[in-house]
Chains A and B, each alone.
Chain A
Amino acid sequence: MREIELSLNQTQKIRLKRALEKLEYKPEVGDIVVGRVSEVAQKRWRLDIHYSQDAVLMLSSMNLPDGIQLERGQLLTVPPYLVRRRKQHFHHLEQYGVDLILGCNGFIWVGEHVEARDDMVEDQVSKPEQQNIKSNKNSISLEEQEQTYTPIETRQSICRIANAVRVLSILGFNITIEVIMDTMNLSSSLNLDIHEMLGSEFCVLVAEGEAERRSLTKKKG
């Protein structure tokens, strides 16, 4: 990196930096990411985190089994630069019974709310990887499967939130919990069906909302 910078002028340097910023996702210490298991080995799992290298998760460093399982939900992929690092990345939307995890790497998890077990110590390292419990699924008996039934309202909320995220990512707006909620409320107040949220009419409405929001923040500033 340093050698080539010497031969570049200022504009080119900025351009290169811009290009590298968009390049997938650049992991930093303390980022909360959502990963997708790409390989299961004896002592470690490999996770696809939308970067040029896979992440390695040592099984000894996490406290599964029976932690929070990320299942019954949707994993969305958006351009990583749309998700900014913030204090809060895990959101529990109580009114809908939905969990929302905004990974810095552009992976977003929307799923049914799961209660954390008391005996589980929550730490940032163990959380993102829990969606991979799916491998255990086969062993769940029929009775248990009935317990894991998700009510239709929750499923609809999950889809509505997921579509709100999709609309925002199509339009290229920054994705934050407030904007997602605004988009979702807008769609419910208009009595739109879930599939109608991806139509162009709704995109226009969301874009208008975003323009208004930006003009407000500018006035304050």
Chain B
Amino acid sequence: MEFVSPEGLRLDGRRPMEMRQIRAEIGAVAKADGSAVFEMGNTKVIAAVYGPREVQNRSQQINDQALVRCDYSMANFSTGDRMRKPKGDRRSTEISLVIRQTMEACILTHLMPRSQIDIFVQVLQADGGTRSACINAATLALADAGIPMRDLVTSCSSGYLNSTPLLDLNYVEDSAGGPDVTVGFLPKLDKVTLLQMDSKLPIDIFEKVMQLAIEGCKAIANYIREIMLENTKQLEYRRGI
């Protein structure tokens, strides 16, 4: 199948190095301590953070750091065909784990010993790159909850189809079965916290594709910073500072 036309356009009309439109919104869940909605094109994800609070299961308590928990789920209406998925299937367990590990790496857990932080992410619309969108939404929600972090982790995916590196794959490109690299990145520290790939790539091309994903992460980080700055300004204005 042709994913990049001879004119250099992708199926949805983007250039190979072009990202989908991103949109973020802070404060979507009133009862949560922090929450956010993150959209990448047609992918839409909502995240809510509760905590730090007392550990619910006493046996899981860690004495010198906070316990981070993450729950990923997909709404039944998120995909084209409405499917009733059993809770805790392999895919969602794996993504929960990935998000948890990525967020745990950037939260300063040692500042909140003997407490627990819960992150809930739900996919409202799925169109490829839900993993990345979930990490971005979770970062925003954690920042909104005022949880101390090393840096804002952002995530973006990239792939390699028709001998072209492509940024931010959508569902059709994702399901083509080609290489798909998802990167989690700390922009200020210039470090990678998450790296996943399906399928195979030669090492020199892999480096190119990964670099492309990192550029995407940086762009998202800039946008997230803007959104947060705006939110903080509004908070300050309300409090009359």
Contact = CB atoms under 8 A, between A and B. Distances in A.
Interface of A: 1, 4, 16, 19-24, 38, 46, 48, 51-54, 81, 171-174, 214
Query: Nearest 10 pairs between A and B by C-beta?
Result: A22-B146, A52-B115, A52-B52, A172-B238, A23-B146, A54-B54, A19-B146, A52-B112, A19-B148, A214-B240
A52 B114 contact: yes
11 contacts: A20-B146, A20-B148, A23-B145, A23-B146, A23-B147, A23-B148, A24-B33, A24-B146, A48-B53, A51-B53, A174-B239
Contacts of A214: 240
B146 A38 contact: no
Nearest to A21: B146
Contact of A1 (B33, B111, B143, B147): B111
Contacts of A16: 148
Interface residues of B, number: 20
A119 to B, nearest CB: 35
A22 B54 CA distance: 17
Q: Which of A4, A16, A46, A52 has the most chain B CB atoms inside 10 A of its CB?
A: A52
Nearest to A39: B54
Contacts of A48: 53-54
B172 to A, nearest CB: 40
A46 B55 CA distance: 13
B239 A172 contact: yes
Nearest to B237: A172
B216 interface: no
Contacts of B98: none
Interface of B: 33, 51-54, 66, 108, 111-112, 114-115, 143, 145-148, 235, 238-240
Given A19-B147, A52-B54, 15 more contacts: A4-B108, A16-B148, A19-B143, A19-B146, A19-B148, A23-B52, A23-B145, A23-B146, A24-B146, A46-B54, A52-B114, A53-B114, A172-B235, A173-B239, A174-B239
A24 B147 CA distance: 9
Contacts of B52: 23-24, 52
B51 A52 contact: yes
A219 B201 CA distance: 68
Contacts of B238: 171-173
A173 B111 CA distance: 29
Nearest to B149: A19
A195 B204 CA distance: 64
A32 B143 CA distance: 28
Contacts of A38: 54
A175 to B, nearest CB: 11
A183 B17 CA distance: 53
Q: Which of A22, A48, A171 has the most chain B CB atoms inside 10 A of its CB?
A: A22
Nearest to B113: A52
A201 B240 CA distance: 21
B148 A52 contact: no
